[in-house]
Amino acid sequence: MENPYLPYPVRIDDIVVETEDRNLKTFKFVFLNEGDEEKFAYHAGQFAELSIPGRGEIPIGIASSPVEKGFVMFTVNKAGVVTTHLHKMKVGDIMGVRGPLGNWFPWDMLEGKNVLLVGGGFAFTTLRSSIVYMLDPANRPKFDKISVVYGARTPGMLLYKGELIEWEKRDDIDVHITVDATDDPEWKYNVGFVPPITEQKAPQGDGDTYAIVCGPPIMIKFTQPVLEKLGYTNDHIIMSLENRMKCGIGMCGRCNIGQELVCKDGPVFTLDQINQTPREY
């Protein structure tokens, strides 16, 4: 019997400080044992438990993409016991990664469709995974128009800035970067909250267009009416939920929203599905 609680041992290979407040770091892990990377085959939108012996585990969205090989990558906000400890760890340290867990964005269904990604703050990790996946030369033809609206409080709080700037220049993806405010005279992108920028820049919703929305609750709250106005129906709005988790495999009982378990039946749900649950998240 395989033990689903046993993480794959990994070594921290690289650490990048992502944001000016130094509260977000991206960790690149390599698997210690041969064959584990193949066993960890994942889809964009899934998460994993980062497992630190002596501290515990924390569920984090996978920021690397299935098309990137040789490592897995997570961007982690320093917040609780495990993440604070992780932020103190160094390249070369040994820990564990358990997963991949949960469902993923519905890539089969999205084939041949327009895809709009709306992200805010540090909830851009699985969206980064998705963009890298879709832009892979083998995958790009599978999708029609790809649009992105991504915002943070300030330019210094944007994740993956180098990649964002590169994507912004491309003509096979329509990227709109925005910040709440900036006094940087060099800033050449949008200024404004994510919802109004979405209203101005995002494509109209129709049967062939899906929106994937990841962000803080306040952003989601104000983006929802905007998408509705643009013509997106609730079954074409896809979201990724978060709840406190322990097991990640649907057994420990705490992350449920009604009969759905966010860790196993989710974290990805359509707004339509979410509206049929008691929304305890």
Partner 1 sequence: MKIVAIDKKNWEKGLDKLRGAYRLIGPVKEDRYHYFRELGKGQMPDFSCLNTRLSAKETIYPQSEDMFEYNLDKSQEDHHLLKEVEKDDSPQAVLGIRPCDAKAVELVKLNFDTEEYKDPYWLRSWEATTFVGLACDAPCSTCFCTTAGCGPYHEEGLDVLLADDGDRYLAKALTDKGEKFLAAGGWSEEVDGEERFAAGKAAAEEKIVSTVVTENLRGADTLALHGDDALWEDVSFSCINCGTCTFVCPTCWCFDIQDEVHGTQGRRQRNWDSCMFPIFTVHTTGHNPRGTKLQRVRQRFMHKLKYFVDKYDAGIMCVGCGRCVQQCPVNIDIRRVCELMNSRGAKDACAVEG
Tokens of 186: 């060099």
Q: What is the 3-state secondary structure (H, E, C) of 140-176?
A: HHHCCCEEEEEEECCHHHCCCHHHHHHHHHCCCCEEE
- 215 touches 222 (CB < 8 A): no
Nearer to partner 1, 131 or 262 (CB): 262
Determine the Cα–Cα distance for residues 75 and 18; give it in Å rounded to an integer. 8
Shortest separation between residue 23's beta carbon and partner 1, angstroms: 13
**Per CB under 8 A, which region of 65-73, 172-180, 230-238, 257-265 contacts partner 1?**
257-265
Nearer to partner 1, 55 or 142 (CB): 55
Cα 274 vs. chain centroid, distance in angstroms?
18
Site for partner 1 in 4-63 (CB under 8 A): 4-7, 9, 51, 53-57
Determine the Cα–Cα distance for residues 7 and 58; give it in Å rounded to an integer. 12
Nearer to partner 1, 184 or 280 (CB): 280
Nearer to partner 1, 140 or 279 (CB): 279
- 263 touches 59 (CB < 8 A): yes
Site for partner 1 in 133-162 (CB under 8 A): none
Residues that contact partner 1, how many (by CB under 8 A)? 42
Nearest to 154 by CA among 115, 211, 193: 193
Within the chain, what is the greatest distance between any pair of CA atoms? 60
Shortest separation between residue 178's beta carbon and partner 1, angstroms: 23
Site for partner 1 in 56-115 (CB under 8 A): 56-57, 79-80, 83, 93-96
Determine the Cα–Cα distance for residues 148 and 78; give it in Å rounded to an integer. 26
Shortest separation between residue 179's beta carbon and partner 1, angstroms: 22
Asked whether position 174 contacts partner 1 by CB under 8 A, the answer is: no
Nearer to partner 1, 15 or 67 (CB): 15
Shortest separation between residue 257's beta carbon and partner 1, angstroms: 8
Shortest separation between residue 96's beta carbon and partner 1, angstroms: 6
Tokens of 129: 């995974």
Rounded (to 5) percent helix, strand, coil in the chain: 25, 30, 45
Nearer to partner 1, 99 or 205 (CB): 99
Footprint of partner 1 on this chain (CB under 8 A)?
1-7, 9, 51, 53-57, 79-80, 83, 93-96, 242-244, 246-247, 249-259, 264, 276, 278, 280-281
